[in-house]
Structure 1
Amino acid sequence: MSGKPRLTYINGRGRMETIRWLLAAAGVEFEEIFLQTREQLLKLIKDGSLLFHQVPLVEIDGMKMVQSRAILSYIAGKYNLYGKDLKERALIDMYVEGISDLMQLILMFPFSPPEAKEKNLASIAEKATERYFPVFEKAFKTKMSNMPTIKKFLQPGSPRKPPPDERYVATVMEIFKIN
């Protein structure tokens, strides 16, 4: 394995996208392996690579890490992006948890039944605009989008993934046997 972190996930945003963003913020190049079949996932489980039988999986510094929060904390600490003291870390953790709450709503939307999509979208939009966006816009949207490494990540041709489409949803449902 090269010195680059290796990310294993489906070829889409999902729970890996925040990890990609953090690596981009740190200016770290990474390799990606995209799961395309259930058999690939089962092989990782059988080989013991997935501690809790789930992805994302990040191989870094000789470790096979799972659990998004643990991965993000490790990368943030490794690349000095986790605050200078306990108070800054607490603020960072609050933002991370807020993003996590919002992302959970968004991540599940493509998998909601067709008859519930309109209602779910309205609920997500309401929560996002009332709870989350005001906080992020006040404190860190401008600061984040002006970082040269983030600007590069937001450009076409970067490892950033597009929003989920029907093919992505079908792939995820097949790999994880979601009905």
Structure 2
Amino acid sequence: MSGKPKLTYFNGRGRMESIRWLLAAAGVEFEEAFVETREQYLKLIKDGYLLFDQLPLVEMDGLKLVQTKAILNYIAGKYNLHGKDLKERAQIDMYVEGTMDLMGMILMYPFSTPEQKEKQLASIIEKATTRYFPVYEKALKQHGQEFLVGGCFSWADVQLLEAILMVEEKKADVLAAFPQLQAFKARTSNVPTIKKFMQAGSQRKPSPGDAYVATVLKVLMSD
């Protein structure tokens, strides 16, 4: 072992992408192993790597970590991205849950039928602009600080930037009515570790296409 965290997932975004973002933001290099066949997936289960028979899997610090939120919580805690006390941690968790809800809708979008996609896209944009983004816009405006919680860069900021970029892929001008979020996006995109992750050639994954969807369905769906 090289000592680097090892991430096992499909060769695409899915639920692993937020983990990639958080490790990258913390400046942590990681290795990846891609599951491409059902046989590989079943072997991971047989060998005891997947506690609940689910991906993603992250191996670090001698642990076999599964369940996305548990993995993200561990990384955020380890690299001081989870606030300085219990109150800040609660605030960060609330903001993170919001972005996870929004991103969850986007993660499912590629798996929808062509007939469903137009309605789902409209729902994503509507909820982003009326339910989720106004919360973050108000928070940044009220406390007048650069980041969401405690004036310090945290897991919540990483997730919010990721969510913003995901929605912008669906509607480029989605931040038109949110000046605080526009400024936040510019600031966080220039955090050196994040700027590096956003550059071409990084381990950041592209928006999922048909090949990714086909692989996921092939691996997870039994005959």
Using the size of structure 1 for normalisation, the TM-score is 0.95
Secondary structure of the 2:33 match is strand
> Using a 3 Å threshold, how does the CA distance of structure 1 residues 166 and 89 change in structure 2: closer, same or farther?
same
Give structure 2 stretches of 5+ with no counterpart.
Answer: 141-147, 149-156, 162-183
Give structure 1 stretches of 5+ with no counterpart.
Answer: none
- Name the structure 2 match of 1:148: 192
Secondary structure of the 1:8 match is strand
Q: Which has the larger radius of gyration?
A: 2
**1:97-176 paired onto structure 2 within 5 Å:** 97-137=97-137, 138=140, 139=148, 140=157, 141=161, 142=184, 143-176=187-220
Matched, 1:47 2:47: yes
- Name the structure 2 match of 1:70: 70
For 2:136 and 2:43, the matched residues in 1 are separated by 39
- Name the structure 2 match of 1:87: 87
For 1:52 and 1:34, the matched residues in 2 are separated by 19
Q: What is the Cα deviation at residue 131 of structure 1? A: 1.6
Secondary structure of the 2:53 match is coil
Secondary structure of the 1:155 match is coil
Q: What is the Cα deviation at residue 146 of structure 1? A: 2.6
Q: What is the Cα deviation at residue 113 of structure 1? A: 1.5
Secondary structure of the 1:128 match is helix
- Name the structure 2 match of 1:56: 56
For 2:222 and 2:43, the matched residues in 1 are separated by 18
| Root mean square deviation of aligned Cα | 1.5
Identity of aligned residues (%): 72
**What are the superposed Cα offsets for residues 69-93 of structure 1, whole Å, 9 maximum, x if unpaired?**
1000101111111110111101110
Mean Cα displacement is larger for which, 23-32 or 138-147? Answer: 138-147
For 1:133 and 1:126, the matched residues in 2 are separated by 10
